[in-house]
Structure 1
Amino acid sequence: MLIRKPTDLTAADITPKQVYLNRRRFLEAMGIVGATAVAGSRVLELAAPSEAAVAATKFNALLKSPFSTTEKENSYEEVTHYNNFYEFGTDKTDPAKNAQKFDTSNWMVSVEGEVAKCGKFSMDEILKIAPLEERIYRHRCVEAWSIVVPWIGFSFSHLINLVEPTPKAKFVAFQSYYDHRQMPQGKWAGIEFPYVEGLRLDEAMNPLTLLCVGMYGESLPNQDGAPVRLVIPWKYGFKSIKSLVKIKFQSKMPATTWNLAASNEYGFYSNVNPNVDHPRWRQNKERRLGELFRRNTLMFNGYGDQVSSLYSGMDLKKYY
């Protein structure tokens, strides 16, 4: 069954942006190609298709989030051409090259487990759950580099409230899409697919946890997790699972891909903590993408005021 809201419950050598941002199939899946869609306080402006390519969906009239940082944003080109997305290759430049034909049409996200309202969401339904916001977040990767990105989405808690978790729900498990025919590079990644991640329910409910459908005013490009992903800014980047297809509420802590691959290096929580070194490198310094010099890593990536209470009394070196 479909879950509805109560009110209707209804770099110059790289592929040019206009080519790799072909979103036509995504728009067809939403039923809004060649039209203007209005939902709540947001407006989606759709560019007319050209012979060369179809532009990304553009989001206007976005809410401005009080959670946004005032730090300088990284450029679109930096963020879309330096990625970790192992399904499309392990080199940082691989996803931008290999994800161009990734088919995101007819996308569905399944919600399962300990909830009153199980079901599947189309992208059209996801876009109607809550008004979209632009949130400029710091994003820290475990390899000691960082970025600042203007993401577009809404707090994941809106979806949680909609599906009504039962008292047994203590954790939320997530699963990415995987198709070896579309992602042949995955066979050399050295990790198991589909990619899986998880959060405690209270972490998932935190207003910073973002269900993300776009960035830089447009829909997500394939290499950045199209058409829908999570963004969890106080945790290392691998926790922000891309191309989301399954959400399961459960009583037990879920398995996570990198913890399964190397439990001594990647814990379940994966909070940004400069006091916990990776076994193969230090984590107290980071380099912002595009900058020469390193800067100090901030506890919880600088979001301690919003999230530190979640871990009161916990040994964050033990529960890394």
Structure 2
Amino acid sequence: MFTSPKNRRSSSLLYQRRDFIKRSALLALGSSVAADFLLYGSQAWADDAESETYQIGKSAEWKGLSAVRLQANLLTTAQQAAFYYNNFYEFGMDKTDPAKYSGRYIPYPWQLEIDGLVEEPVILDIRDLMHASDLEERVYRMRCVEGWSMVIPWNGIPLHKILAKVKIKPEANFVAFESIVRPDQMSGQEGAGGIAWPYCEGLRLDEAQHDLTLLAVGAYGQNLVKQMGAPLRLVVPWKYGFKGIKAIQKMTLTAQQPITTWHQLNPTEYGFYANVNPNLPHPRWSQASERFISGVGFRGITRQETLPFNGYGQEVAALYQDETEEYYY
């Protein structure tokens, strides 16, 4: 059964997020990043792959392809910046916390359970996903609700191909996602922050079945590093980044819209749909532009305009033809 967060808000968590946004990406990605990255970041993924069993495969379709060849109009964020600058609240509120404190976290072995309104519930082994013949590389924009963005080459499987395995019942309308709870390995779950764990997210079924929606098992041609959500995370490129739940251990097909973590914490600021919209400001800041992080340090950050649906409007705008505001926050 899908486990929802408790019906409560956390002024502590929202204050910490507000305080962090004020400090912004400019401080976090300063000149000390390279040294800290080598100290913490390498620790955070060095033991992820103890054998080839838990290494992502490379299909003939994308093996050896560069991000430039796949989508030449996008400047890909440097791997070093993407590996070090993360939101993963299971390890803390600061952007450097996931890399610093994920050393105890053990992402392999792993299973993904899919149940709910389906004819054939399944439990999938992560190795089957990592070695799937339809594993792809997708270079996507990623836009955080906090006002910063990256471009990341993900390795994964379109979610609709996974959902096809369970024979969805006609009455299913949504997909609920649930992350893992391991307070002994995830320091952010040890009572601080105010989130009622597990972290939960959801998509409308047609969103989940859209070809752009990806279940990622890797990035930059290798396993997902721990701080980026290993071993399995959701990537929905036209939505704000908090929709991209990490360390997914369960998916449930439901008839009713599921409760999601940030919407539960503050529904006036973090909506269920959370589609990127430069014309709809967050209650406390504009969404008209963003800090694009291409690399490390001040020179790796540029200001650019935010695109409707994060640049994917041609592909997904038809999902929201009634254009009511609820789809945009």
State the TM-score, normalizing by the size of structure 1. Answer: 0.83
2:156 corresponds to 1:153:
yes
Q: Structure 2 counterpart of 1:262, which letter?
A: N
Residues 71-150 of structure 1: pairs in structure 2 closer than 5 A:
71-150=74-153
Partner residue, 1:171 = 174
Q: CA deviation at 1:20?
A: 2.9
Deviates more, 1:309-318 or 1:205-214: 309-318
Distance 1:62 1:218 in 2: 13
8 A Cα contact 1:41 1:62, kept in partner: no
Q: How many matched pairs?
A: 289
Paired position in structure 2 for 1:7: none
User: Within 2, Cα distance between the matches of 1:178 and 1:136?
Assistant: 30
Match of 2:323 among 306, 314, 317: 314
Name stretches of at least 5 consecutive residues in structure 1 with no aligned partner.
1-10, 43-58
Alignment of 1:265 onto 2:269 = yes
| Correspondence 1:231 to 2:235 | yes
Change in Cα spacing, 1:65 to 1:108, as seen in structure 2 (3 Å) is farther
Whether 1:22 aligns to 2:43 is: no
Distance 1:129 1:116 in 2: 22
For the 8 Å contact 1:130–1:158, the answer to whether it is kept is no
Q: Offset at 1:178? A: 1.6
SS at match of 1:301: helix
Distance 1:73 1:63 in 2: 10
What percent identity do the matched residue pairs reach?
41
Q: C-alpha displacement at 1:168, in angstroms?
A: 1.1
Q: State whether residues 65 and 134 of structure 1, in contact with CA within 8 Å, keep that contact through their aligned partners in structure 2.
A: no
SS at the partner of 2:323? coil
Higher mean C-alpha displacement, 94-103 vs 67-76 = 67-76
Are 2:317 and 1:303 aligned? Answer: no
If asked which structure has higher relative contact order (CA below 8 Å, sep 6+), I would say: 2
Q: Residues 59-81 of structure 1: CA distance to partner in whole angstroms, max 9, x if unpaired?
A: 94579999846311111111111
Alignment counterpart, residue 193 of structure 1, candidates 197, 203, 216: 197
Residue in structure 2 matching 1:219, options 202, 219, 223: 223
The one-letter code matched in structure 2 to 1:300 is F
Residues 173 and 256 in structure 2, CA contact (< 8 A), matched pair in contact too? yes
Distance 1:283 1:67, change over 3 A: farther
Residues 110-157 of structure 1 show CA distances to partners (whole Å, capped at 9, x for unaligned) of: 111011110211112223544211111000000100000011012101
Which digits, 9 at most, give the CA deviation of each residue in 1:189-219, with x for residues without a partner?
A: 2322110000000000000000101011100
SS at match of 1:136: strand
8 Å Cα contact 1:285-1:296 kept in structure 2: yes
Secondary structure, aligned partner of 2:36: coil
Q: Which moved more, 1:162-171 or 1:68-77?
A: 68-77
Structure 1 residues 237 and 37: CA distance shift in structure 2, 3 A = closer
2: CA distance between counterparts of 1:163 and 1:65? Answer: 35
CA positional deviation for 1:183: 1.2
Pick closer, same or farther for the CA change 1:116–1:129 going to 2, 3 Å: farther
Looking at structure 2, the residues matched to 41 and 61 of structure 1 have their Cα atoms a distance apart, in angstroms, of 9
The answer to whether the Cα contact below 8 Å between 2:98 and 2:227 also exists between their aligned partners in 1 is: yes
Task: Quote the offset at 1:277 in angstroms.
Answer: 1.0
Report deviation, 1:105: 2.1
C-alpha displacement of 1:37? 8.5
CA–CA distance in 1 between the matches of 2:207 and 2:185?
Answer: 32
Counterpart contact for 1:225–1:242, Cα < 8 Å:
yes
2:242 corresponds to 1:242? no
Report the 3-state secondary structure (helix = DSSP H, G, I; strand = E; otherwise coil) of the residue aligned with 2:325. Answer: coil
Instruction: Note closer, same or farther for the CA distance 1:67–1:209 as it changes in structure 2 (3 Å cut).
Output: farther
**Deviations along 1:226-245, whole A, 9 cap, x unmatched?**
01111000000000110110
Tell me the equivalent position of 1:285. 289
Query: 2: distance between equivalents of 1:209 and 1:168?
Result: 21
Give the alignment partner of residue 13 of structure 1, picking from 21, 27, 35. 35
DSSP-derived class of the 2:242 partner? helix
Q: Secondary structure at the match of 2:103?
A: coil
Pair 1:160–1:222, CA change in 2 (3 A): same
C-alpha separation in 2, matches of 1:65 and 1:316: 35
Post-superposition shift, 1:101?
2.3
Quick one: structure 1 residues 249 and 228, their matched pair in 2 at CA, closer, same or farther if it must change by over 3 Å? Answer: same
